[in-house]
């Protein structure tokens, strides 16, 4: 679809260049569009019905910032686009925070049927926001047909959990099963040259092993166990279950399911995970009787959280801004979209923020497993430049802030992490495959001369020389030393003490706090409040720095979202099947490798920071 939209734009560009007549026609066309837009803009904000139920129905992956799609692609998304849907964490928490004290909102209805990938800290953040909403005395209802592990953590906070009689609550725990490529590389006769520092730096293992090393298993089960403990505690507390009940039920699953005649829904009901098995019309009627009918009378009085946010509008700007710089996804050199932490793009946002006279402080919001060490350092240097001109920098760690994600945070004035943040993985590695044997199998060879022993040293059609390997290993070790020094400086520790807890090992937020790798446990709002306190400001607004669509794209997007463009809209979100999720994981792993663009071949990446969960 992207190509179609580019063709349309090219046609407009062509029309602009063909002369006065065409310009006149273009002007008429623009006036026509503008007239439609004006009529659309004339519409008032959505109304919030008195006594409405706020419907919270997150769709797709929960992210820090949503990527702005091409407007035509977005309009036809369900039918033609392969772009997975996304929901902003901050939209969810803002809606819940506002609705808590809004007398027009009577209750909350949570539907997680279309919830996609979500990190543990995002999961717990939303659960905490639901608990905060309940503190107002308003009821919360979970209304899904079935519950994934992530969805159930949210649903457990509800006053009443409904589920379809054909549904299930599937809880299996956390796992990490990376994909390993050694045998494939052996068959290709590729020589994989690995350079690393850190006992637990297992990011290179997929290239040199077909299984997980004992050291990696030791480290991974430790942090996975910490995350699962937090999950169990949250659910058992919310549902009033005995401590350890979830783990025991998983261990006894075959016997318990047999007692429930193989029916997962009956099992969830008998185990106290859901309160009532009911088809949609039953809970719709129950909420209709409690809160009144919708305008059409077919359901209960309600407002979707996105419509609710549109009705609220934006907060009034303040002269004191807390600038939020988001580092989301793999850290790479160059420029790029919000889905990755492209160094030049992020550095540009930091520079804009520190040169903005209204900026009171900066919050670096991190959800990244790392990437290029060079790119990480460029971002950190720009944050240091902000600190040198008097701005406080507060790092706020989301689901993952490991390796390069920790590097960019290391010298912040304060580091805040969620208890379930995956962090640490302080280590450096380099991987350079060479394919001289692969090429030789098909009759291709290389030979020649160079002016120095290092000339042509990085030609992947030739084996690496001992001199080249020595140079690279020294560079990796120096990079690790630099990493340790930055952490020691930022956390007020000695290099030796940092080295003891580094070595590429991954920690959960609670343990990282004990070890001194983070200063405070708390969420995004806590970090923003800390930034305001450090800047000594009381009245402030939060400003998210990011890319925005062009005026033309925005105009078309507004048109397609108006009543005129209603024919283009799709209503049913599509989430990938299990097979497609596996294929997407392989694609993500491949893209991670393809994005390795550090000029020195030095990387700080955590491959084990991705969790396997239903």
Q: Provide the 10 A C-beta neighbour count for residue 494.
A: 11
Collapsing DSSP to helix, strand or coil, 139 comes out as strand
CA distances to 241, 305, 325, 336, 567 from 246, rounded to whole Å, are 8, 31, 38, 42, 47
The number of angstroms, rounded, from the C-alpha of 51 to the middle of its chain's C-alpha atoms is 34
Phi, psi of 11 (to 5 degrees): -60, -45
> Pairing state of beta strands 506-508 and 422-424?
antiparallel
For CA atoms 562, 564, 565, 569, the dihedral sign is: positive
Q: Is the distance from CB of 312 to CB of 98 less than 8 angstroms?
A: yes
Q: Which of 201, 301, 392, 511 is catalytic?
A: 201
How many residues make up the chain in this entry? 614
User: What burial class does residue 492 get, using C-beta atoms within 10 Å of its C-beta: 0-12 exposed, 13-18 middle, 19+ buried?
Assistant: exposed
Integer Cα distance of 136 and 355 in angstroms = 41
User: What are the contacts of 80-84 at 24+ separation with CB within 8 A?
Assistant: 80/1, 81/1, 84/60, 84/116, 84/575, 84/576, 84/584
Longest Cα–Cα distance of the chain, Å, equals 85
How many Cα atoms within 13 Å fall on the side-chain side of residue 543?
21
Three state DSSP letters for 155-200 = HCCCCEEEECCCCCECCCCCECCCCCCHHHHHHCCCEEEEEEECCC
Which DSSP category does 300 fall into? Answer: B
Integer Cα distance of 468 and 458 in angstroms = 8
Q: Provide the 10 A C-beta neighbour count for residue 360.
A: 22
H-helix segments, 204-252: 205-208, 214-239, 245-251
Question: How close are the terminal C-alpha atoms of the chain, in Å?
Answer: 30
Active site residue 585: no
Integer Cα distance of 544 and 525 in angstroms = 13
Active site residue 299: no
- Pick from 95, 125, 564, 144: which is nearest to 303 by CA? 95
Integer Cα distance of 152 and 103 in angstroms = 28
Q: Is the distance from CB of 291 to CB of 50 less than 8 angstroms?
A: no
R_g (Cα) of the chain, nearest Å: 27
Q: Provide the 10 A C-beta neighbour count for residue 594.
A: 8
Q: Is the distance from CB of 212 to CB of 178 less than 8 angstroms?
A: yes
Q: Which of 121, 403, 420, 602 is catalytic?
A: 403
Phi, psi of 69 (to 5 degrees): -80, 165
Q: Mention every residue, 6+ apart, whose C-beta is less than 8 A from residue 474.
A: none
Q: Which residues are catalytic?
A: 201, 403
């Amino acid at each position: 679809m992207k190509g179609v939209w580019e063709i349309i734009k090219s046609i407009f560009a062509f029309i602009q260049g063909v002369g006065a007549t065409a310009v006149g026609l273009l002007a008429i066309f623009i006036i026509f569009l503008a007239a439609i837009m004006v009529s659309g803009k004339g519409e008032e904000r959505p109304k919030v019905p008195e006594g409405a139920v706020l419907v919270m129905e997150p769709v797709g992956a929960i992210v820090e910032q949503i990527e702005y799609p091409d407007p035509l692609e977005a309009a036809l998304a369900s039918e033609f686009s392969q772009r997975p849907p996304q929901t902003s964490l901050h939209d969810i928490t803002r809606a819940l925070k506002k609705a808590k004290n809004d007398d027009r909102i009577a209750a909350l209805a949570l539907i997680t049927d279309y919830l996609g990938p979500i990190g543990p800290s995002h999961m717990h953040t939303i659960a905490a926001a639901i608990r905060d909403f309940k503190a107002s005395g308003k009821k919360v209802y979970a209304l899904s047909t079935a519950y994934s592990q992530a969805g159930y953590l949210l649903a457990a906070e509800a006053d009443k959990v409904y589920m379809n009689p054909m549904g299930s609550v599937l809880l299996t725990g956390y796992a990490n099963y990376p994909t390993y490529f050694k045998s494939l590389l052996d068959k290709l006769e590729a020589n994989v040259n690995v350079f690393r520092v850190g006992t637990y730096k297992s990011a290179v293992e997929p290239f040199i092993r077909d299984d997980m090393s004992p050291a990696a298993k030791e480290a991974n089960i430790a942090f996975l166990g910490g995350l699962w403990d937090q999950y169990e505690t949250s659910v058992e507390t919310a549902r009033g279950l005995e401590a350890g009940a979830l783990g025991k039920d998983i261990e006894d699953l075959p016997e318990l399911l047999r007692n429930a005649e193989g029916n997962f829904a009956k099992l969830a009901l008998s185990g106290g995970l859901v309160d009532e098995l009911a088809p949609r019309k039953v809970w719709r009627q129950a909420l209709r009787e409690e809160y009144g009918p919708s305008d059409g009378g077919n359901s209960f009085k309600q407002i979707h959280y996105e419509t609710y946010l549109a009705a609220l509008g934006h907060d009034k700007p303040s002269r004191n801004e807390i600038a939020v710089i988001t580092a989301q996804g793999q850290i790479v050199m160059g420029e790029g979209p919000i889905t990755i932490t492209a160094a030049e793009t992020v550095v540009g946002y930091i520079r804009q923020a520190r040169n903005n006279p209204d900026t009171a402080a900066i919050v670096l919001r991190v959800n990244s497993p790392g990437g290029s060490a060079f790119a990480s350092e460029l971002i950190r240097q720009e944050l240091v430049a902000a600190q040198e001109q008097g701005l406080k920098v507060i790092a706020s760690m989301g689901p993952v802030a490991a390796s390069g994600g920790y590097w960019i945070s290391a010298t912040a004035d304060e580091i805040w992490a969620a208890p379930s943040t995956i962090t640490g993985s302080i280590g450096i590695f380099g991987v350079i495959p060479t394919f001289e044997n692969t090429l030789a199998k098909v009759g291709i060879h290389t030979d020649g001369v160079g002016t120095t022993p290092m000339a042509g040293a990085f030609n992947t059609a030739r084996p690496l020389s001992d001199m080249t390997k020595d140079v690279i290993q020294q560079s990796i070790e120096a990079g690790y030393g630099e990493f340790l020094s930055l952490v020691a400086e930022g956390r007020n520790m000695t290099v030796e003490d940092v080295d003891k807890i580094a070595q590429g090992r991954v920690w959960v937020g609670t343990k990282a706090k004990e070890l001194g790798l983070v200063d405070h446990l708390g969420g995004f709002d806590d970090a923003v409040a800390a930034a305001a306190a450090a800047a000594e400001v009381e009245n402030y607004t939060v400003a998210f720095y990011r890319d925005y669509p062009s005026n033309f794209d925005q105009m078309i997007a507004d048109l397609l979202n108006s009543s005129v463009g209603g024919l283009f809209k799709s209503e049913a979100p599509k989430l990938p099947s299990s097979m497609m999720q596996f294929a997407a994981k392989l694609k993500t792993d491949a893209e991670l490798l393809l994005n390795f663009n550090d000029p020195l071949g030095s990387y700080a990446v955590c491959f084990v920071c991705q969790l396997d969960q239903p």
